[in-house]
Amino acid sequence: MAEHISLAVIGGGPAGMAAAVSAYDSGITDVTIFERENELGGILNQCIHNGFGLHTFKEELTGPEYAGRYIDEVKRRNIRYETGSTVLSVSPDRQITVVSREKGMRIISADAIILSMGCRERPRGALNIPGMRPQGIYSAGTAQKLVNCEGCVIGKEVVILGSGDIGLIMARRMTLEGAHVKAVAELMPYSGGLKRNIVQCLDDYGIPLLLSHTVVDIKGKRRLEGVTVAEVDQSGTPIPGTEEYYECDTLLLSCGLIPENELSLSAGVKINGATNGPVVDDRLETSTDGIFACGNVLHVHDLVDFVSEESSRAGKNAADFIRSCGKTKNEPVIVRVTAGNGVRYTVPNTIDAANASGDIHLRFRVRNVYKGCTIKLISGGSVIYSKKKKIVVPGEMEDIIIKPEMLSSVSGELVAEIEEGAV
Partner 1 sequence: MTRNMICIGCPMGCELTVEVEDGKAVSVTGNTCGIGKKYAESEVSSPTRMVTTTIISDKGIPVPVKTRSAVPKDKIFDVVNSIKSAELKLPVKIGDIAVRNVCGTGTDVVVTKDTV
- Residue 383 contacts partner 1 per CB under 8 A: no
Closest distance of CB 337 from partner 1, Å: 25
Given candidates 148, 272, 275, 296, which one binds partner 1 under the rule CB under 8 A? 148
Q: Rank residues 149 and 423 by Cβ distance to partner 1 and give the closer one.
A: 149
Q: Rank residues 271 and 397 by Cβ distance to partner 1 and give the closer one.
A: 397
SS3 182: strand
Residue 334 falls in which region: left (phi positive, over 0), alpha (psi -120 to 50) or beta: beta
- Residue 400 contacts partner 1 per CB under 8 A: no
Count of residues interacting with partner 1 (CB under 8 A) = 30
Bridge partner residues of 8 (DSSP): 32, 113
Q: Say if CB 19 and CB 124 are below 8 A apart.
A: no
Q: Kindly report the CA angle at 294 between 47 and 48, in degrees rounded to 5?
A: 5
**Phi, psi values for residue 320, rounded to 5°:** -60, -40
Query: Could you give the string, one character per residue 282-311, with x where binding to partner 1 holds by CB under 8 A and - elsewhere?
Result: --------------------xx--------
Q: Rank residues 64 and 123 by Cβ distance to partner 1 and give the closer one.
A: 64
Q: Rank residues 94 and 172 by Cβ distance to partner 1 and give the closer one.
A: 172
- Region from 29-37, 64-72, 209-217, 272-280 binding partner 1, contact rule CB under 8 A: 64-72
Reported for 268-275, long-range contacts at CB under 8 A and 24+ positions apart, including other chains, are 268/92, 269/115, 269/293, 272/345, 272/349, 274/339, 274/344, 274/345, 275/299, 275/300, 275/345, 275/347
Given candidates 25, 64, 180, 404, which one binds partner 1 under the rule CB under 8 A? 64
Query: Could you give the string, one character per residue 30-59, with x where binding to partner 1 holds by CB under 8 A and - elsewhere?
Result: ---------------x--xxxx--x-----
Q: Which of 55, 5, 58, 52 is nearest to 32 (CA)?
A: 5
From CA 292, how far away is CA 298, in angstroms rounded? 9
Q: How many CA atoms lie within 13 A of 145 on its CB side?
A: 10
Q: Rank residues 64 and 394 by Cβ distance to partner 1 and give the closer one.
A: 64
- Region from 18-26, 195-203, 326-334, 375-383 binding partner 1, contact rule CB under 8 A: 195-203
Closest distance of CB 55 from partner 1, Å: 9
Q: Rank residues 156 and 221 by Cβ distance to partner 1 and give the closer one.
A: 156
Given candidates 176, 265, 422, 423, which one binds partner 1 under the rule CB under 8 A? 176
Q: Rank residues 62 and 341 by Cβ distance to partner 1 and give the closer one.
A: 62
- Residue 140 contacts partner 1 per CB under 8 A: no
Given candidates 26, 135, 200, 242, which one binds partner 1 under the rule CB under 8 A? 200
Q: Rank residues 20 and 61 by Cβ distance to partner 1 and give the closer one.
A: 61
- Residue 368 contacts partner 1 per CB under 8 A: no
What's the burial of 92, exposed, middle or buried (CB within 10 Å: 0-12/13-18/19+)? middle
- Residue 68 contacts partner 1 per CB under 8 A: yes
- Residue 153 contacts partner 1 per CB under 8 A: no
From CA 55, how far away is CA 34, in angstroms rounded? 27
Given candidates 4, 133, 189, 204, which one binds partner 1 under the rule CB under 8 A? 204
Q: Which of 348, 320, 332 is nearest to 112 (CA)?
A: 320
From CA 199, how far away is CA 196, in angstroms rounded? 5
Given candidates 196, 223, 371, 388, which one binds partner 1 under the rule CB under 8 A? 196
SS3 176: helix
- Residue 394 contacts partner 1 per CB under 8 A: no
Neighbours of 91 (CB within 10 A): 16
- Residue 126 contacts partner 1 per CB under 8 A: no
Given candidates 26, 29, 62, 228, which one binds partner 1 under the rule CB under 8 A? 62
From CA 281, how far away is CA 287, in angstroms rounded? 8
Closest distance of CB 147 from partner 1, Å: 8
Q: Say if CB 209 and CB 222 are below 8 A apart.
A: no
Pairing of strands 3-10, 104-115: parallel
For partner 1, the binding residues (CB under 8 A) are 45, 48-51, 54, 60-65, 68, 147-151, 176-177, 194-196, 198-200, 204, 302-303, 396
